[in-house]
Amino acid sequence: MAERPRIGFAGLGIMGRPMARNLLRAGYPLTVWNRSPGPAQELAAAGAAVAGSPAQLAASADVVITMLRDTAAVEQVVLGDEGLLAGFQPGEIYVDMSSISPLATRRLAERLAARGVVMLDAPVSGGEVGAREGSLAIMVGGPAEALARVRPVLEVLGSRIVHLGEVGAGQVAKACNQLIVAVTIGAAAEALLLASAAGVDPARVREALLGGFAQSRVLDLHGQRMLAHQFAPGFRAALQLKDLAIASELGAATGVPLALTETARRLYGELVAGSGADLDHSGLLTLLERQAGRTLN
Amino acid sequence: MAERPRIGFAGLGIMGRPMARNLLRAGYPLTVWNRSPGPAQELAAAGAAVAGSPAQLAASADVVITMLRDTAAVEQVVLGDEGLLAGFQPGEIYVDMSSISPLATRRLAERLAARGVVMLDAPVSGGEVGAREGSLAIMVGGPAEALARVRPVLEVLGSRIVHLGEVGAGQVAKACNQLIVAVTIGAAAEALLLASAAGVDPARVREALLGGFAQSRVLDLHGQRMLAHQFAPGFRAALQLKDLAIASELGAATGVPLALTETARRLYGELVAGSGADLDHSGLLTLLERQAGRTLN
C-alpha cells in the first residue's frame, strides 16, 4: 500500500458525507459511490472521483470504507451484483464503519478472506457532530496489523480508536453501547416523568441526580433534551430500534438473557410504530407521556 | 432553637452509626435511640445520651433525625407506642433521612403538622463510605425555612444538600435516583455479559464505552465490581429491591408507566429470592450469569 492509500468510500448519508469530506480535506485520493447519485455529485464537486458501482469502487482503491444503514445494505453492497466482492484485489483492506450484526460481520469477513481481502469492522459513536468534526469514537475489530495500516485514515475520522479484538468485536462493542444508551435513556425518561407527575420539578431532580450514582452522560445530555422537549435528531429512534434488534439477535445467539434490552426494544418499537421513528432517541419520553396522559413540564 | 440544637438520633445501623458519630464529633449534644441496645451503648461510650424510647428521644431534643430501614420502621418509630409523636414538642423539627415512600412521608408530615412539628424528608446517596466521611448527597423536601434551620446539622453529614421542593420531594428524587441506578446496573450487566459471551473482553468493552454516550458512574464503578466479581456490599440487593418497590408504588399512584423499572424490579426480586439478598446491587450480574450458564470472565 502506498503512503497515502487510495480510498473508496460507499455510503454518503448523514454520517458518510462529512466523513468522506474529511478524507478529501486530509489529502487522500478519494473515489465515492452512493446508491442515489446526488450526494456523490456533491463530493465530486469537492474533488472526489465517482465510481459507477461498488465493484468499480473496490477496483479503484487500496482501502474501501462503507458507512451504510444496516446489515442488509452492507450485504447488498459487498455481495450483490457489481458488489465490492467483484472488484476487490487481494491485499485490499475493507473497513465497514456501519453499525450492523456482529454475526453477519463475521460471515462477511470469511467470504472476503477467501479472496485475500482483510475486513475490519469499525462502527462509530458520536453522531453527525462527531462525523463533521472528525471526533468519532471508533470501535475496531479485526487483525491488529490491518488496523495499523489504516490507522492514519481512521485518525482523520475519529479522535478515539479502540481495538477490541477479532473481526466482529467492534460491532459487539457497538451493540453493547447501544443497548446501554437505549436502556439508560428509558430510565431517565421514567425518572423525570415520575418526578414531574409526583409534583417535583424534573429539572431539579436531574440536577441533584447528576451528582450521585445515577450520573450518566445520557441523564446529562438526553435528560436536557427531554426537559427542553427538543427531539430533532441527533440519533433517530428508528436506528436505535435497529441497533436494539442487533443486540437482541446477539443475545439469542449467545444465550444471554437481556430482559432490560428487550423491554427497551419493545418501547422503541411502540415509539417507531407510532409517529416517533424520526425523533431523536431521547424522544422515547413522548411515548411515556402519551401512555401517562401527561407531559413532563 | 439554640445555636447548637440538641439532636435526637434514632436508627444506628450501618448508615446511622457513623452519621451519629459525626454529629458528636462536631460538638452537637446528642441523644440516641436504637431498637437493639448494642449500637446505642457504643455511641454512649463516645459521649451520647441514650433515650429509653422514641418518645423520650423526641422529648429531649430540638431536632430529631431518623435513619431507618423502611417505611414500616419509620411509621412504627413515629406513630407506634412510645413513638416520637408522643414526645415531640411544638416547634421541633423532624428530619427523616431514611429512604421510604414519598406518599407515606406526606401522610406523616400531615400528622406531625397537626402537632406543630415540621417534617423534612432528607434521604441520602453515597452509602456507608459517604456516611463515614460526612460526604453524603442529601435530597431534601419540606419548608425552606426549616431546612435553613437544620442546614448546619446536615452539613456535618453531607457535602451536597439539594432542596427539591415540598415535603416528600426528597423521597421522590431518591426513588428516581434508585430506579436509574438499578436499571443502569442491569444494562451494564447485560452488556458486559453479552460482550463476554460473544468472545470480546468485557474489560475492553467497558473501557471503550466509558468514552462515549454509554458512560455512567454505574458502568465505571459497578462495572468494575462486575469485572472483579466482588459483590460485598456496598448497597445490598435487598435494599435496592425495596427502593424499586417505592418507585413502583409511586408510578402506580401517578399513572406513569415504568416498564424498565418494573423489569429491574422483577430481576432484583429473582436475585433476592435466590441467595443474592446480601450481595451488593451490582451482584445482579450473578443472576444473569446463572440464567446464561456462563460467567463474565
Q: Among the three residues B99, B132, B167, which one is the final residue of a domain in this structure? A: B167
Are residues B129 and B274 part of one domain? Answer: no
User: In this structure, are B183 and B114 located in the same domain?
Assistant: no
Half-sphere exposure of A188 (CA within 13 A, CB side): 32
Cβ contacts of A255 on chain B, cutoff 8 Å? 197, 292-294
Contact A100, A71 (CB under 8 A): yes
The percent of residues above 90 in pLDDT, for chain B, comes to 95
Counting Cα atoms < 13 Å in the Cβ hemisphere of A120 gives: 31
A172·B219 Cβ contact <8 A? no
Q: What is the pLDDT of residues B116-154, one digit of tens each?
A: 999 999 999 988 889 999 999 999 999 999 999 999 999
Provide the pLDDT for residue B297.
85
- Select from B66, B141, B237 the least CA-distant residue to A195: B141
Residues in chain A: 297
Give yes or no: residues A16 and A125 share one domain: yes
- Active-site residue (options: B17, B21, B163, B174): B174
Domain-embedded: residue A1? no
Q: Has B174 been annotated as catalytic?
A: yes
What is the gyration radius of the CA atoms in chain A, in angstroms?
Answer: 20
Q: Is residue A150 part of a domain?
A: yes
Q: Is residue B273 part of a domain?
A: yes
Please indicate whether, in this complex, the C-beta atoms of A195 and B183 are within 8 angstroms of each other.
no
Query: Which pLDDT belongs to residue A73?
Result: 98
Boundary-marking domain end, from A136, A167, A198: A167
Q: Chain B contacts of A179, Cβ < 8 Å?
A: 187, 190-191, 194
Counting beta carbons within 10 angstroms of the beta carbon of residue B170, is it exposed (0 to 12), middle (13 to 18) or buried (19 or more)? Answer: buried
| pLDDT band for position A3 (cuts 50, 70, 90) | confident
Contacting residues of A for B179, CB less than 8 Å apart = 187, 190-191, 194
Residue A234 binned pLDDT confidence (cut-offs 50, 70, 90): confident
Answer yes or no: do B216 and B75 share one domain.
Answer: no
Pinpoint the alpha helices (H) of B134-216. 144-157, 169-197, 202-209
Same structural domain for residues B92 and B186? no
Using pLDDT thresholds of 50, 70 and 90, give the confidence band for residue A127.
confident
How many alpha carbons lie under 13 Å from residue A151 in its C-beta half-sphere? 12
A32 touches chain B (CB under 8 A): no
Task: Yes or no: say if B113 and B100 are a contact pair by the CB < 8 Å rule.
Answer: no
Residue where one domain finishes, among candidates A140, A167, A194: A167
Which range of residues forms the domain containing residue B40?
A: 7-167
A190 and B292 in contact by Cβ < 8 A?
no
How would residue A297 be classed by pLDDT, with cut points 50, 70 and 90? confident
A140 interface with B at CB cutoff 8 Å: no
Query: Do B147 and B40 share a structural domain?
Result: yes
* Interface contact B205-A288, CB threshold 8 A: no
**Contact B264/A267, CB-based, under 8 Å?**
no
B165 in contact with A at a CB cutoff of 8 Å?
Answer: yes
B261 touches chain A (CB under 8 A): yes
A176-227: per-residue pLDDT in tens?
999 999 999 999 999 999 999 999 999 999 999 998 899 999 999 999 999 9
How many structural domains is chain B composed of? Answer: 2
Task: List, for residues B151-201, the tens digit of each pLDDT value.
Answer: 999 999 999 999 999 999 999 999 999 999 999 999 999 999 999 999 999
Same domain (yes/no): A147, A180: no
Condensed to tens digits (0 to 9), the pLDDT of residues A245-262 reads: 999 999 999 999 999 999
Residue with cell 467483484: A86
Q: What is the CATH number of the domain that holds A192?
A: 1.10.1040.10
Nearest-angstrom CA–CA distance, B49 and B57: 10
- How much is the pLDDT for B262? 98
Does the residue B297 lie in any domain?
no
Inside any domain, residue B1: no
Residues A174, A222, A225, A242: which is the catalytic one?
A174
| Cα separation, B257 vs B264, whole angstroms | 14
Residue B234, classed as helix, strand or coil, is coil
- In terms of domains, do B184 and B212 share one? yes
- Give the tens place of pLDDT for each residue, A57-71: 999 999 999 999 999
In this complex, do B173 and A205 lie within 8 Å of one another by their Cβ atoms? yes
As separate numbers, helices (DSSP H) first and strands (DSSP E) second, chain B gives: 13, 9
pTM of the model: 0.95
Distance (Å) from the alpha carbon of A50 to chain B's nearest alpha carbon: 34
Both B33 and B98 in one domain: the answer is yes
A2 found inside a domain: no
Same domain for B256 and B159, yes or no, is no
Domain shared by B200 and B240, yes or no: yes
| Count of residues making up chain B | 297
- Does B78 map to a domain? yes
Q: Are residues A144 and A261 part of one domain?
A: no
